[in-house]
Chains A and B, each alone.
Chain A
């Protein structure tokens, strides 16, 4: 009976609270180490644009969509070039750092035991942590693109631009397509984040988790470039990432985009579920 009286005085929990997520974002975006990382991300479009201003390119080449030869023709291409430079290493590394930190970082500091005894339900913890990772993936991609657009239009101007398929579109539509590219890449990077969330539940060493994620990402880039393993390629994490160029054709080649989104979605589903299966039953001894 006494218990009933006590429970009655306890305020009801809010079913959904954004405070924990807000606190999580404050932690990510308020941390100096992450500022440094974001500064590196933003530095690439600056370097690319300045270098091309000083010494304009003469011809194209290389894998994937080629934006470099077009950089001097329109500022938006700086953003696209910067995204394609940062896609193999810097962007996944940034996401891997945040994702590796998510659970392992709290375990390493010991703050995990205190959060869980607040109490934060373990499923809620994973939901909040993964949401923060996804938000960071979007922020990182938009940061690179935004800096690129800014530097590009300042140094090379805006105006109409010519798509990879040869069609002319307005600057406004160009911005819209660039935004679509960012969304596509952020979803792809969220798959890295999902793997990171899972790895982060396995260890108490955030750096170890980050390294493991990077080995997976870079490793799958390497496998994707070995022609003898072509049967494996469609299943690789990074195989569809460069499909973002399809958003710059007229009409948009949706096949590649939907395949990429489906693949990223499958990775997210599998690894978030794995993280939940692992974390919800784990003994927290840190």
Chain B
């Protein structure tokens, strides 16, 4: 059995009468990049705050890196880097001084290497040139980078990142995603909360979906995609013969429109389909195998749209 970096059972948080998080059983395997997906207000941040011991669960329990929280917080959290609900720093201190302050608060950090580690972290997120600038003069993207740098001050086994690409331009987004991939390749487990489906598709190995405080789905990305149905799309100016060929091959749900034919692939290899089409003399202008995107998967998994509600 794989070890779990984050594990919860029945974790719940009630604010007043409303359950912000309703009995979720998280299972984040060690070494995975876990996409913690859900619309705004679905309980992601509340969950992350509970995981870090910032708020107390109403019910349920959880473990980080195999140790029970919040009892083991002093032992576990030094190995956990966290970005929670956006960056927050002292506005009148420079980026470098802000990181130095966080490092000074860390009893586990070695003071002798502090200056070097702070600069290395700044360098890793591309902020070294702006190290002496006051935080208040930072753009949103720079602030986000500084918060990421704070998680890199010491080597971490688990990174819990709440919307790390929020506010970044496309270039910054790419850099952060490649940074996360690098960190994961170095052996860290990354729990990445996001509402961007494309982000999950690009870098995650596992997915958990929150919806109105419930964890409505949780699986590896491969499992999710294997359980889904692939389709083919043939572009041609002679759709009728193409339709006939596809039917003869045993494809189902064959549909025809002006210059294309679509069908459900089933267990047939796509190259067999192309071969059959060409042999039948159908002029093929384009052929695509369509894996359903994550959004469709979620609709099929949860029966719900991906809209913000409550």
Interface residues of A (CB under 8 A from B): 2-3, 6-7, 10-14, 17, 19-20, 22-23, 27, 31-32, 109-111, 113-121, 281, 283-285
Cross-chain contact A20 with B78 (CB below 8 angstroms)? no
- Quick one: closest B residue to A285, CB to CB? B55
A223 to B230, CA, bound (A): 80
Interchain nearest-CB distance for B146 vs A (Å): 11
Instruction: Say whether A14 contacts B107, CB under 8 Å.
Output: yes
Known: A3-B66, A117-B82. A22 touches B52 (CB 8 A): no
Asked if B77 and A10 make an inter-chain contact with CB atoms under 8 angstroms apart, the answer reads: no
Taking a contact as CB atoms under 8 Å apart, the answer to whether A115 and B102 are in contact is: yes
Q: Are A20 and B89 in contact (CB under 8 A)?
A: no
A6 near B157: Cβ-Cβ < 8 Å: yes
Q: Across the interface, do B92 and A31 meet the contact criterion of CB distance under 8 Å?
A: yes
**B86: A residues at CB distance < 8 A:** 110
Alpha-carbon separation in the docked complex, A22 to B78 (Å): 20
Number of interface residues of B (CB under 8 A): 41
B77–A32 CB distance below 8 A:
no
Nearest CB in chain A to that of B87: its residue: A110
- Separation in Å of the B115 CB from the closest CB of chain A? 12
Contact between B65 and A3, CB atoms less than 8 A apart: yes
Compute the total of residue contacts between A and B using a CB distance below 8 Å: 97
Instruction: Report chain A residues within 8 Å CB of B92.
Output: 31-32
Provide the B83-95 mask, 1 if CB < 8 A to any CB of A, else 0.
Answer: 0111111111100
Please determine whether A23 and B74 come into contact, CB atoms closer than 8 angstroms. Answer: no
Q: Is B222 interfacial (CB 8 A cutoff)?
A: no
- Say if the beta carbon of B291 comes within 8 Å of chain A: no
**Quick check: is B53 within 8 A (CB to CB) of the other chain?**
yes
Choose among B49, B88, B107 the residue that contacts A17 (Cβ–Cβ < 8 A).
B107
Q: Write the residues of chain B forming the contact surface with A, with a CB cutoff of 8 angstroms.
A: 3, 49, 52-56, 65-67, 73-75, 77-80, 82, 84-93, 100-108, 110-111, 150, 157
**In the assembly, what is the distance between CA of A285 and CA of B92, in Å?**
23
A20 to B150, CA, bound (A): 16
Write the nearest CB–CB distance from B8 to chain A, whole angstroms.
17
Judge whether A27 and B105 touch: CB under 8 Å.
Answer: no
CB-nearest residue of chain B relative to A6?
Answer: B157
Q: Chain A residues near B3: list those with CB within 8 A.
A: 2
B52 engages A11 (CB within 8 Å): no
**Contact (Cβ within 8 A) A118 B49:** no
- B residues within 8 A CB of A3? 65-67
Measured in the bound complex, the distance between the Cα atoms of B85 and A284 in whole Å is 12
Q: Nearest A residue to B65 by beta-carbon distance?
A: A3
Q: Nearest Cβ distance between residue B88 and chain A, in whole angstroms?
A: 3
CB neighbours (8 Å) of A121 from chain B are: 73-74
Q: A117-B77, A117-B82, A284-B54 are in contact. Are A109 and B88 (CB under 8 A)?
A: yes
**Bound Cα distance A26, B152 (Å):** 23
With contacts A2-B3, A114-B84 known, is A20 near B105, CB below 8 A?
yes
* A118 to B87 alpha-carbon distance, docked (Å): 14
20 further A-B pairs in the complex, CB-CB below 8 A; given A6-B65, A119-B53: A2-B3, A3-B67, A10-B78, A10-B79, A13-B107, A19-B103, A22-B104, A23-B101, A32-B92, A110-B88, A111-B90, A113-B88, A114-B82, A115-B105, A116-B54, A117-B53, A117-B77, A117-B84, A119-B73, A283-B49
What chain A residues lie within 8 Å of B91 (beta carbons)?
A: 109
A7 touches B88 (CB 8 A): no
Is B52 touching A117 in the complex (CB atoms < 8 A)? yes
Q: Within 8 Å CB of A23, what residues of B? A: 100-101, 104-105
- Report how far A19 CA is from B108 CA in the complex, Å: 11
A116 to B110, CA, bound (A): 19
Please state if B49 and A111 are interface contacts (CB–CB under 8 Å). no
